[in-house]
Amino acid sequence: MPAVSKGDGMRGLAVFISDIRNCKSKEAEIKRINKELANIRSKFKGDKALDGYSKKKYVCKLLFIFLLGHDIDFGHMEAVNLLSSNKYTEKQIGYLFISVLVNSNSDLIRLINNAIKNDLNSRNPTFMNLALHCIANVGSREMAEAFASEIPRILVAGDTMDSVKQSAALCLLRLNRTSPDLVPMGEWTARVVHLLNDQHLGVVTAATSLITTLAQKSPDDFKTSISLAVARLSRIVTSACIDLQDYTYYFVAAPWLSVKLLRLLQCYPPPEDAALRSRLTECLETILNKAQEPPKSKKVQHSNAKNAVLFEAISLIIHHDSEPTLLVRACNQLGQFLQHRETNLRYLALESMCTLASSEFSHEAVKTHIETVINALKTERDVSVRQRAVDLLYAMCDRSNAKQIVAEMLSYLETADYSIREEIVLKVAILAEKYAVDYTWYVDTILNLIRIAGDYVSEEVWYRVIQIVINRDDVQGYAAKTVFEALHAPACHENLVKVGGYILGEFGNLIAGDSRSSPLVQFNLLHSKFHLCSVPTRALLLSAYIKFINLFPEVKATIQDVLRSDSQLRNADVELQQRAVEYLRLSCIASTDILATVLEEMPPFPERESSILAKLKKKKGPGNLPDIDDSRRNVNGNTEHHEPTETTNKSPPSLMADLLPTNRPRPASSSPIMLSAGTMGSSHPFTDLLNLNSPPAAAPSLLVDVFSDLSAPASVEVSEDNFSRFVCKNNGVLYENQLLQIGLKSEYRQNLGRMYVFYGNKTSTQFLSFSSSVTNGDALKGQLIVHAKSVDPVIDGGAQVQQILNMECVSDFTDAPVLNIQFRYGGALQNIAVKLPVMLNKFFQPTEMTSQDFFQRWKQLGAPQQEVQKIFKSQHPMDTDVTKAKILGFGVALLDGVDPNPANFVGAGVIHTKDTQVGCLLRLEPNTQAEMYRLTLRTSRDSVSQRLCDLLSEQF
């Protein structure tokens, strides 16, 4: 038993807690708890009415049990009863229970809200505070609905006690965070701002937090707070430390308030008013000066509080990014901290400097600390500090120091913690690419990466090096030579085999002149790795072999023997078997010319955003990634590399303009290997390389995972790959990635439609929290109504669930709704968005008519805006039957014998919307010689004609 038992001792509770502590095992504890739960339950259910004290005691015991980590499913009602007790401690325990064990039971919420309302109206400040604390702790939407308009009134009322004002301010802050839409702005906002002038520093502190949150939401409404905040800050920083009495903390004047004021000012740009601006600058200078003064106390609390204010001031200076002297002073101050004996300060200095590095004014000043930072990387004992050092090196990197920084990062990588290796790999890969002048250096760096940390080299990284080598012919020979040498290492990483296989397959001929790397030597080297590799790598190697057959006819027989062996031709893996069979066949029947065409060198990749960068961003969250955008630093004059990279040949300017994918199709010139790749599964590495549109969604950042309720869902790219395939058909596979397949069946009648969406789990693991909803863009709202039935939240491995969507077309529309899917797979939240193929033509009813009728209507629809015509090149072979099927699939009736030219197609139909019906006539004129079509649409509505023409013209 503790020596102190302040307040009202609840003996029964203390005994119970002692019992639990004395339990020797988990089982004994559970037994004791179950006994107690049974006891409490019987007391609560008993006929005898419990007095307030007992009720309080039992509720408190339940609370204790809950806090031990056990589930509590009763007692809520008793706790709610305590709320209306007139004994303070009973009420207090009731509120505590409610705050900790919120229950969304609607009846209870009503009762709780009633009790809160009574206490808020009680005029008893202690009761009011309890009620406000409860609202702030629970912060639920129901409470926001009930009290969000009431609390501002309490906050600004003249007769409200200070302590109640403080609670009310923070209560409102919490509600504004959870339900910002429910907190009404109004005339009270002006009065809240004036709380910054309040006599009571506690009120000012609470109010500053509230104003900061509100100002983030609507900065304009709180602009007046700038001058008040500056004035207040100025008074604090110039005050003698005893002036503020109890608000002085270890000789630092009001550190919390100072930090909050500085934070509030970060919601705004530098003040426009010159006097105000100079006053603020003075404040910031004073804070920087104080950092140089000898400490007033040896206590760590003193230096922490002082430096907390200093760091916040530096954040504001960086945020304003407008006063070069302040920025450089901040940088020098942080430079001192880099060598401070306090680990915490070194950590924070590294962190802060990262943001300074991205300012044009201080980038150079940050760079002067490079040696210290490199030293930190080598000597810091705490991995989280080393991590900061890596971040800072990344942020301060530019062309002048890239080689040094990359070299240091690489050598650190050898001993780095496993937890941060992948990130360092990404960073090295990005820097090496971004600042490469000499691409041999780039190739060496990436191969080193694979050698040192092959397991952490993600696909994006090795895809990237291949893209760069393919796009730059000045480096191809070097790359071939280097990978050839690297492959000689006794144990080389599989990623190296992939890169090696790909590069030798493309450019092995460039080093084949040397007898030490003759074709056969190259082949034997690659093939010596074959059996140790995983299936995808083996598949890639098989593709390299067929490329060898084309490059080096002299090894054809050797390779054919390999392909012909049972271990290939009868491989249990379908992909490998198919490749072996197809490649062998190809090498046997195709002439040299055909082989040369099919297996021609890969065409250059189009410029795309680097997926490495995208991956790093995803890993770090956008806000956390230091800005290493060059354009900004160029303002500073020196370094950078916007001068055209003279060595570039095939690809436009510098490569770092970022090639990689995410959703781009392959290069326009149809790539030779596609011929065979097209017949294969999507796991074909060559195709994957080109068409990286469906990597397994990498686990999104953990914050999204855990706090998915808070953070806006990471914006997901809407997939529309298969959209146009559904213009002329209603069923099929809409979307597929490694986890999920989405299939559709749909039927339409007049202006109504029904779609069956099938979600197939391709994995063997359950999908949890599965949900899917349909969103209509703004334009689409009111034009198309989609009602989605709910779908089972769990999809077992290998199982399929179905969702029904009911649709109603209200008026003609152009956009398409988006199907948003969310689920957890193996702990990671997956977000998928797919454009739903609901198009205007789905609401067609075909109309048969005679030639005479047709031409009569055709003439009636003769106004220029009613006709839309498009002439376009044929994308597919011009087959009459296929074309007919497509027009029928489009939804119109195909009218025979109407057009005098039998080669032309003519169709008619009516689009049904709720508002109106739109008659449509169409005519498609193929020109087989030119491989062109002319499509003409006439409807009574220009928007309909346009949309239908756009949809249909994509189909031929």
Partner 1 sequence: MPFFMLLFSRQGKLRLQKWYVPLSDKEKKKITRELVQTVLARKPKMCSFLEWRDLKIVYKRYASLYFCCAIEDQDNELITLEIIHRYVELLDKYFGSVCELDIIFNFEKAYFILDEFLLGGEAQETSKKNVLKAIEQADLLQEVSHVKNCE
> For residues 742-801, which are near partner 1 according to CB under 8 A?
none
CA within 13 Å, CB half, 619 = 18
- Measured CA to CA, the distance from residue 388 to residue 344 in angstroms comes to 12
Decide if 648 contacts 654 (C-beta within 8 A). Answer: yes
Smallest gap from Cβ 290 to partner 1, in A, equals: 15
Give the whole-angstrom CA distance, residue 859 versus residue 865: 13
Distance, CA of 702 to CA of 14 (rounded, Å): 40
Q: Of 5, 22, 218, 238, which one interacts with partner 1 (CB under 8 A)?
A: 5
CB of 35 to partner 1, least distance (A): 20
* Four-CA torsion 775, 779, 784, 785, nearest 10 degrees: 40
CB of 822 to partner 1, least distance (A): 16
**Which among 25-33, 376-384, 505-513, 881-889 is the span making contact with partner 1, rule CB under 8 A?**
376-384
According to CB under 8 A, which one of 287, 305, 562, 840 is a site residue for partner 1? 305
CB of 256 to partner 1, least distance (A): 5
Nearer to partner 1, 2 or 902 (CB): 2
Q: How many angstroms separate the Cα of 479 from the Cα of each of 484, 504, 599, 942?
A: 8, 9, 20, 57
**Residue 57 marked as a ligand binder:** yes
DSSP character at residue 795:
B
Q: And the tokens for 165? A: 């004002």
Query: Which residues are bridge partners to 937 per DSSP?
Result: 868, 922
CB of 513 to partner 1, least distance (A): 52
From the list 701, 746, 913, 953, which residue makes contact with partner 1 (rule: CB under 8 A)?
Answer: 701
Residue list 107-146, contact with partner 1 (CB under 8 A): 118, 121-124, 126, 129, 132-133, 136-137, 139-140
Which 312-371 positions form the footprint of partner 1 (CB under 8 A)? 312, 315, 343-344, 346-348
454, with CB counted inside 10 A (0-12, 13-18, 19+), is middle
Provide the minimum distance between the beta carbon of 409 and partner 1 in the complex, in angstroms, as a whole number.
18
Stretch 166-195: interaction string toward partner 1, x if CB under 8 A: xx--xx-xx--xx-----------------
Distance CA 384, CA 376 (A): 11
Instruction: Name which of 133 and 217 has its Cβ closer to partner 1.
Output: 133
* The binder of partner 1 chosen from 116, 146, 195, 254 (CB under 8 A): 254
Which residues from 406-465 bind partner 1, rule CB under 8 A?
none
Burial status of residue 718 (CB atoms within 10 A of its CB: 0-12, 13-18, 19 or more): middle
**What CA–CA distance (Å, rounded) separates 385 from 344?**
9
Nearest distance from C-beta of residue 715 to partner 1, angstroms: 16
Asked whether residue 513 is marked as a ligand-binding residue, the answer is no
Work out whether 157 is an interface residue with partner 1 (CB under 8 A).
Answer: no
Candidate list 75, 94, 152, 255; residue touching partner 1; CB under 8 A: 255
From residue 494, give the alpha-carbon distance in Å to each of 411, 529, 547. Answer: 21, 9, 20
Asked if residue 487 lies in contact with residue 541, where contact means CB atoms within 8 angstroms, the answer is: no
Binding residue for partner 1 (CB under 8 A) from 28, 38, 67, 594? 67
Residue with tokens 């709610």: 80
Under rule CB under 8 A, which residues in 467-496 are in contact with partner 1? none
Amino acid at 440: T
SS3 252: strand
Nearest CB to partner 1, comparing residues 29 and 796: 29
Counting contacts by CB under 8 A, is residue 2 touching partner 1?
Answer: yes
Query: CB 675 → partner 1: shortest distance, Å?
Result: 45
Min dist CB 353 to partner 1, Å, is: 15
Residues from 378 through 417 that contact partner 1 (CB under 8 A): 381-382, 384-385, 387
- CB-wise, 306 or 363, nearer to partner 1? 306
Does 703 help bind partner 1 (rule: CB under 8 A)? Answer: yes
Cβ contacts of 554 within 8 Å, gap of 6 or more = 519, 520
Name which position in 220, 593, 646, 709 contacts partner 1 (CB under 8 A). Answer: 709
Q: Which stretch binds partner 1 (CB under 8 A): 200-208, 634-642, 645-653, 788-796?
A: 200-208
Taking CB under 8 A as the criterion, the residue among 189, 281, 307, 543 binding partner 1 is 307
From 304-312, 605-613, 754-762, 905-913, span contacting partner 1 (CB under 8 A): 304-312
Determine if residue 456 is labeled as part of a ligand binding site.
no
The single residue listed with the structure tokens 């084309």 is 550
Least distance from C-beta 171 to partner 1, angstroms? 7
Residue 53 annotated as binding site: yes
Q: Which of 706, 733, 799, 863 binds partner 1 (CB under 8 A)?
A: 706
DSSP for 474-518?
Answer: TTHHHHHHHHHHHTTSSS--HHHHHHHHHHHHHHGGGGTTSGGG-
Comparing CB distances to partner 1, the nearer of 305 and 406 is 305
| Four-residue CA torsion sign, 791, 792, 796, 802 | negative
547 is in an annotated binding site: no
> Where are any strands of DSSP class E within 679-739?
718-719, 732-736
User: Rounded distance, CA 336 to CA 346, Å?
Assistant: 9
Query: Which class for 67: exposed (0-12), middle (13-18), buried (19 or more C-beta within 10 A)?
Result: exposed
Q: Name which position in 311, 439, 605, 844 contacts partner 1 (CB under 8 A).
A: 311
Q: Considering only residues 705, 720, 925, 954, which one is a binding residue for partner 1 as defined by CB under 8 A? A: 705
- Nearer Cβ to partner 1 (43/263): 263
Taking CB atoms within 8 Å and a gap of at least 24, the contacts of 674-681 are: 675/598, 676/546, 676/582, 676/583, 676/586, 676/598, 679/578, 679/582, 680/575, 680/578, 680/579, 680/582, 681/574, 681/575, 681/578
Bridge partners (DSSP) listed for residue 821: 772, 832
Phi and psi dihedrals of 894, rounded to 5? -90, 120
Phi, psi of 43 (to 5 degrees): -65, -45
Please identify, among the stretches 59-67, 222-230, 544-552, 861-869, the one whose residues bind partner 1 according to the rule CB under 8 A: 59-67
Residues 85-114 that bind partner 1 (CB under 8 A): 86-89, 92-93, 96, 100
In the complex, the smallest distance separating the C-beta of residue 180 from partner 1, rounded to whole angstroms, is 13
In the complex, the smallest distance separating the C-beta of residue 624 from partner 1, rounded to whole angstroms, is 6
Rounded to the nearest whole angstrom, what is the least distance from the CB of residue 283 to partner 1 in the complex?
A: 17
C-beta of 389 vs 512, nearer to partner 1: 389
Q: How far is the CB of 343 from partner 1 (least distance, A)?
A: 4
Q: How far is CA 362 from CA 317, 321, 329, 636, 648, in A?
A: 11, 9, 9, 9, 32
Q: How many CA atoms lie within 13 A of 863 on its CB side?
A: 7
Contact region for partner 1 (CB under 8 A) — 302-310, 518-526, 895-903, 928-936?
302-310
Q: Please, which of residues 586-645 interact with partner 1 by CB under 8 A?
A: 621, 623-624
- Applying CB under 8 A, what is the total number of residues that bind partner 1? 93
Considering only residues 205 through 244, tell me which ones interact with partner 1, judged by CB under 8 A. 205-206, 209
Tell whether 61 is in a known binding site: yes
Closest to partner 1 by CB, 30 or 702: 702
Q: Is residue 690 within 8 Å of residue 666, measured between CB atoms?
A: yes
Residue number, 152 or 837, with CB nearest to partner 1:
152
Phi/psi for 947 (5° steps) reads -65, -45
Question: Residue ranges for the binding site?
Answer: 11-12, 43, 53, 57-61
